[in-house]
Copies of this chain bind each other. A is one copy, B any other.
Amino acid sequence: MSSTYGNLFRISTFGESHGKAVGVVVDGCPAGLKLTEADIQAELDRRKPGQSKLTTPRKEADTVEILSGLFEGRTTGTPIGMTVPNTDQRSHDYGDMVELYRPSHADFTYDLKYGFRDYRGGGRASARETIGRVAAGAIARKILKEVCGTEILAYVSQVGSIDADIDPLKATFKTIESNLVRCADPVAAEKMAKAIDDARKAQDSLGGVIQLVIKNAPKGVGEPVFHRAEAELARAFLSLPATKGFEIGSGFAGTRLRGSEHNDPFVNKSGTKTGTKAGKSKSAASGFAAIGTETNRSGGVQGGITNGEPILCRIAFKPTATISMPQKTVDKQGKERTLAAKGRHDPCVLPRAVVIVEAMAALTLVDLFLEQRARSGLFT
């Protein structure tokens, strides 16, 4: 079950850093969706390496090919197979890592679990694995956008000790994509870029936090009790390489408040301006449909079910494990050694991880949305 994700919108990814190709099969995409390779490519381009000096120098066009599941420009309801070839494989760079385990990387545990490993570029543990997620996520995102008007937006909100200073609800795609770090706060973005470049020069690396904002998510999705929306989202993000933490809504900070301070009062939002197009239109909803919350410490999910408010999550990424400076480690026989990693790597994974976070959010939400659709409205 390891590389398969989702139940009704199920993806199965494959591929290693230095194999022939990476890819994904999407099983369960509804029929009739208009889809082209350009829809997928647009997302892959945001993820691909070599975008700037802040990312790994590995060059990959990451061009997707759709092998099945489309007919006359629309999905047919059958599996969508997609591949992306690996082209810039410099396997000779990884000689050292045949014998030595990179600290805090997956080398040792892959040997422990599987008995041996593909050491070239991290093999399956490489972030190249996420290409399949992003390709599939592009489809999930399009479904949610077309059916529910869902907008999924992530950005880098912290790098090392530098914090962005912006209300997540005011973040815009344009600002985020206008800087190399993908931070919604342009001032912080500049500082972050410098910090990442400094780390790179110092043969070191940085971590940080990605903020996720989802507006117009489908309401009523999430399956109590084990597949609550926040549980599925947490799993989705913690399945990404380098993640160490997850928060929804008030998160860890909220644990210091009292219930009376933390609870989100319910209010009637008829007549209020809607969240996604502020200043332009007023909510036409009334009665039950107009119910919303005044504050949103719940982060858009209550009782494991989306309530119509924006979904707000934060994901912690540790500093990149692979660094060029010498480190203490051991070899396969347990002999203590010193490693100076060669190879190419990102001094900070966050700028490229933004689109991956969005993809995982889309894949998770579309699956819960389809499940909710399966059973609702039959007898109520």
Contact = CB atoms under 8 A, between A and B. Distances in A.
Describe A's contact surface by its main secondary structure: mixed
B106 A302 contact: yes
Contact of A1 (B27, B106, B328, B336): B27
A204 interface: yes
A217 B75 CA distance: 27
Contacts of A241: 303
A330 to B, nearest CB: 4
Nearest to A320: B259
B106 A378 contact: no
Interface string A62-92: 0001111111001111111101000000000
A52 interface: no
Given A14-B80, A28-B375, A209-B252, 10 more contacts: A4-B226, A71-B116, A76-B114, A104-B262, A204-B260, A225-B239, A230-B238, A230-B244, A252-B252, A254-B319
A29 to B, nearest CB: 8
B288 A76 contact: no
A123 B10 contact: no
A342 interface: no
A14 B204 CA distance: 43
A151 interface: no
A263 to B, nearest CB: 4
Contacts of A303: 105-107, 109-110, 125, 241
Which 6 A-B residue pairings sit nearest by Cβ, starting from the closest? A106-B303, A115-B380, A32-B379, A205-B259, A2-B223, A235-B235
A10 B20 CA distance: 21
Interface string A220-261: 111111111011111111110101111111111011111111
A71 B23 CA distance: 18
A215 interface: no
A48 B247 CA distance: 28
A102 B241 CA distance: 38
A16 B43 CA distance: 26
Nearest to A270: B334
A99 interface: no
Given A74-B116, A260-B323, A298-B104, A378 B334 contact: no
Interface residues of A, number: 172
A15 interface: yes
Contacts of A370: 374-375
Contacts of A288: 111, 332-334
Contacts of A267: 328, 330, 336
Contacts of A75: 379
B305 A263 contact: no
Contacts of A316: 247, 251-252, 254-255
Contacts of A23: 25, 67, 81
A31 B258 contact: no
Contacts of A230: 238, 243-244
Interface string A102-136: 01111111111111111010011100010000000
Contacts of A78: 3, 14, 16, 118, 123-124, 224
Most interface-central of A160, A239, A301 (chain B CB within 10 A): A239
